[in-house]
Structure 1
Amino acid sequence: MHELVVTWGTSSPTDSGGEPDVRVTLLGTGDTTGTPTVGCDCDTCTAARDRGVERTRFSVHVANERTGESLLIDASPDFRYQFLREGVSLPDAMVISHIHFDHLDGLGNVFRILDDVPVYAADETDPETGQSVAETVADDYYYLDAITPEPRTPFEPFETCGFEVTLVPVDHPPLVCYGVVVEEPETGAKLTFSGDTSYDVPDRSRAVMADPDLFLADAIVPASLCEHHPLGGRHEGPDGTPRTFGTKHMTREGALALAEDIGAAKTRLVHLAHFYPAEEAFEDPLAVDGEVYDL
């Protein structure tokens, strides 16, 4: 494991004693509606406004300080705002984990901003759509000359931005979805993103995801809220606590169990809904936008 240094925002100092090899900026840590949610005055959204924090739709910026390049994991609909707010560099490449709008539709923001950026996505056909994620990217954004869809086979590492990147299948019915593993080959620094997933991540994927310096884990709500889901919870732990909310996303408890399963050195919970009770919504290890991690 590498020393992980936490800073706050792009202007915060680092005490690592030198430049980081990999700088991870959490651009968006929220679910589909974000926090605060538009038109919502629940206690959690109110607390977020009072604290001056937010969770926009999911996206992560990964800068390789050795090569001077950066990789974007998922293209949030809040792309423009996130990049202006955090002041990070525009991406040299992107990875799309799945085709839900809150992870994909930010691609439209590249118009007249980027000239030519590869967009990596899985090449497996989704039985639900009849297309792979890469094919959906190509069809939905056929009009954007600035992006080049790059199909990649899950479990087969590929190189971009000086990183070795691997897509790993997870469990997000009814659509296929992938976790993303990013490694810096010169130093071995490793970031793992769970993807939108239930706790039922395949063993082969877990093996590739294992032992990250930083783990970003989907954790949409606490397990206590499973009683309010029409399908309840599932994948209960030894104490009966649900690790999956419904069928699509991990609970907080499930995400932390997965983090332990894969031996994560540091875990931040992301893709968070505003349904977290206000007294729990901003406690560690729940992330908010703007956090920066140096690996």
Structure 2
Amino acid sequence: MRVTLLGTGDTTGTPTPGCDCDTCLEARARGVERTRFSVHVENERTGESLLLDASPDFRHQFLTQDVSLPDEVVVTHVHFDHLDGLGNAYRLVDDLPVHAANERDPKTGTSVAGTVREKYDYLDPVSVREHAPGETFRAAGFDVTLVPVDHPPLVCYGVVVQDSETGAKLSLTGDTSYDVPTKSRDALRDADLLLADAIVPAALCDHHPMGGRHEDGDGVPRTFGTKHMTREGALDLAAELDADTTRLVHVSHFYPVEEAFDDALAVDGEQYEF
């Protein structure tokens, strides 16, 4: 299994267009990017590849990273920074199965799978495959499971990708607060690589209108507002899940510049083989 982090940023990416904050300026000076979130997983045994979330930066990512176009896609939720890259299927691929959960969202009245089907019904290559959360299915030669996480007000899922032949395992928390259900934590546990949502450091919760949530024993918030983990929350979850390697993703440009390029925070283009 070869994993390429195509996009490691949040909804605006880093550097953010029009922003001259110290972090965006430093990112430009270093020549690094955190584009909108997406992960490429290559099955080196079969030559197939799986895309986890379709970033709006799809074109840029596939032009700048040495990876093949995807054979299949998994969509975790319907926010545009994880979904809207599917429009790139037009004239690039002949057939693109898109896997998504069939659980009806009380907020939207439809499932992730239903939203993908409605939004991209004009794209002949896109065919939607519906799956129940927690049930394993095959995609690009891998065993894949969507696991519920906590990203209000919408349903959202983490992803477990396993190679039954080699035992390799990738876990993705998806966009989530620290309040990941126990059953989902068990599914995500013991991965070779864990990708964990860590949008900001906990200190920035003081600036959020809703503050922080899910404090640890020292009162440090592990959730920023209600939707995403803080860096501290992601690291606490990672310690519990005991992955061989953890990379913090979905990182915003709000990290102070002196912390924004710490080793724990991923940047686009990182690759892992296991």
Q: Which residue does the alignment assign to 2:267?
A: 288
In 2: Cα distance, 1:79 partner to 1:271 partner: 16
Map 1:127-138; keep pairs closer than 5 Å.
127-138=106-117
Query: C-alpha distance in 1, partners of 2:140/2:51?
Result: 10
Please tell me the root mean square deviation across aligned C-alpha atoms, in Å: 0.5
Task: State yes or no: 1:57 paired with 2:36.
Answer: yes
**2: CA distance between counterparts of 1:202 and 1:104?**
24
Q: Which residue of 98, 114, 119 maps to 2:98?
A: 119
Structure 1: distance between partners of 2:157 and 2:240 = 18
Q: Return the alpha-carbon distance in structure 2 between the equivalents of residues 26 and 242 of structure 1.
A: 27
Give the partner amino acid of 1:211: D
The letter of the residue matching 1:103 is: H
Paired with 2:167 and 2:214, the residues of 1 have a C-alpha distance of: 32
Q: Structure 2 matches for 1:36-47, cutoff 5 A?
A: 36-47=15-26
For 1:148, what is the secondary structure of its paired residue?
A: strand
Aligned to 2:76: 97
The alignment's TM-score, normalised by the length of structure 1, stands at 0.92
Which segment is superposed worse, 260-269 or 97-106? Answer: 260-269
Q: Which amino acid aligns with 2:84?
A: D
How far the C-alpha of 1:239 sits from its partner, in A, is: 1.1
The letter of the residue matching 2:64 is R
Match of 1:273 among 245, 252, 257: 252
Aligned residues: 274
Residue 41 of structure 2 is aligned to residue 72 of structure 1: no
Q: CA deviation at 1:238?
A: 1.0
| Residues in 1 aligned to 2:165 and 2:217: alpha-carbon distance in whole angstroms | 40
SS at match of 2:50: strand
SS at match of 1:128: coil
Match of 1:221 in 2: 200
SS for the counterpart of 1:131 is coil
1:259 to 214, 238, 250: 238
Identity %: 71
2:225 is the counterpart of 1:239 = no
Q: Distance in 2 between matches of 1:186 and 1:200?
A: 32
Per-residue CA deviation, residues 229-274 of structure 1 (Å, 9 max, x unaligned), is 0000010011111000000000000000010111111100000000
Distance 2:66 2:89 in 1: 16
1:7-49 Cα deviation digits (max 9, x unpaired): xxxxxxxxxxxxxxx1000000000000000000000000000
Q: Alpha-carbon deviation of 1:189?
A: 0.5
Instruction: Determine the C-alpha separation between the residues in 1 that align with 2:242 and 2:134.
Output: 19
Q: Give secondary structure in 1 for the equivalent of 2:46.
A: coil
Say whether 1:195 aligns with 2:174. Answer: yes
Amino acid at match of 1:112: R
Letter in structure 2 aligned against 1:102: D
d(CA) in 2 for partners of 1:272, 1:172: 16
Q: Distance in 1 between matches of 2:227 and 2:173?
A: 12
Pick aligned residue for 1:182 from 161, 170, 175: 161
- Structure-2 residue corresponding to 1:170: 149
Offset at residue 87 of structure 1 (A) = 2.4
Distance in 1 separating the partners of 2:156 and 2:147? 8
TM-score (norm 2): 0.99
